[in-house]
Chain A
Amino acid sequence: MQAFSYVSARTLSEAADILAREGDQAKCLSGGTDLIVFLREGRRSAKVVVDVKGIPELNQLSYSPKEGLTIGAAVPLHRIYDDAQVNEHYPGLIDAATLIGGIAIQGRATLGGNVCTASPAGDSIPILIAYETTCIVASRSVTKAIPLEKFFVGPGRTALQPGELLVALKLPPPTPNSGAAYLRFTPRNEMDIAVASAGVVVVLDEDKMRFVGARIALGAVAPTPLFVPEAGAALAGQPVSDEAIEAAAQAAQAAARPITDMRGSAEQRKHLSYVMTKRALLKAIERARGGA
């Protein structure tokens, strides 16, 4: 592997100073399950690797009914799926966190890293978009909030500017009568990359017979994770019915702009956008109605 120096940052300002000074030759290290592979393969270069796991703001994991969920960018997946509050209030996030890699990957990998790698197939991203996640970004001089669906500008490219790092992801508190689910299609159950995936959050009315609204996002079917507002709009105000679900799944399929690669053809991915959306919606509705 190429030579670099290593700093374990203890504060946000220490990390931000190094990023400001070294520009793109400084790389943040969270769980390293992408970065170490990228550096070893020469797909990224670094003069200095800044370990951000020791920064308190990046390690917080807190939930309150008023504020919702705050997940520090460096919190590993195993902490997320072992957390009782996340299990209770954000089951769709558990779907994604337990799918990424295997147990040893989940011991290190973070949502912050998954989001910053910005793979179109990043498994946490569609469901985080559906949950209306905001990215808290900081540099030496500013802190700002970016809606996650605006965070991706191309395959592997984010809206982060030189000198900026991701501090945390903020999810609003779940709306009453809501449900969520993330599903991906892979040839193998574990340790594989999505051919196509869907993350959905539905909000039902009090009787749980009608959709109040929904947010739907797709993975691996466009150059970036894809938010499909029109698929959610197809459900708003509609009765919970096969027709409404069909219309939303059709809208998702119409929005998908996939490519053909070794994992699947564009045609298959188009079709999967429809199937994954439909199945994720059924699961989310079941959860909104009190099922597991």
Chain B
Amino acid sequence: MKYIPAIIAVSLWLAAQPALAALNILACEPEWAALAKELGGDKVSVYAATTALQDPHRVEARPSLIARARSADLMVCTGAELEVGWVPLLQSQAGNPKIQPNQKGYFEAAMAVPLIDVPTRVDRSLGDVHPAGNPHLHLNPANIAKVASALTERMAQLDAPEAAYYRDRAKSFLERWQTATVRWEQEGAPLKGLPLVVYHKDLSYLVRWLGMREVGALEPKPGLPPTTAHLSELLSQLAKDPAKVVVRSAYNDPRAAAFIAERARIPVVLLPYTVGGTERAKDLFGLYDDTLSRLLAVTK
């Protein structure tokens, strides 16, 4: 234990260092990293814990993430138990009181929007269901707007001297976002009623927003990988109620989607799912632009 005084000395010295101007944000998913950048500009430093190629349900509390959580002023996560397998570990191991649950430094997007697909019955025989409702909420632009407002206020609370800056940026973002939303809704009109097969319930908000119709899922039950038995069942179901397209997110295994597409003679569309999932999905606007144009390509 003779090192303890040295440790304390070093940490006190580090604490005494002038704090870096930027608000340190650890975003659990790329969509929230992109949103935090839109709102925070150069007053924030944002690190995304995951990429679009990683399944947000299956992330590990890697040492690098503990290190990031240690120095974060604000964690921006989806909540609704999407990150139940790893965020609690970051919170318990990082030694950072700011980002504990119910603290100002822990923001959950799911708190700002009403969730869909809230199960009436929660039982594991139904698969790894999301008991609080569907957490993949960022694929409805109205939700992004709501989360943006709530997040702006949280950032303003945490970094009061820059509150006006954040609110200005939020205003500008929301204006641009609303204009874009109107455009997307116009462009997306032909997608109304489009029957599609999804991989997981991670596109449900998009499906509802654009009025598309989810006729099946590649996962037999939430969180369980596709099985041949389920896929052949799905095929016979599709024979009665055909789908126009199979969609999958960038992080999903392509094989199950290809299997169905080939046999049902329908195209597979890869959707970015979140920022960074495709070349064009560089930010939130790009995410929606690319998602829509990829879906619209099917209807042409």
Q: Do the two chains belong together in a single complex?
A: no
Binding site for A on B (CB under 8 A): none
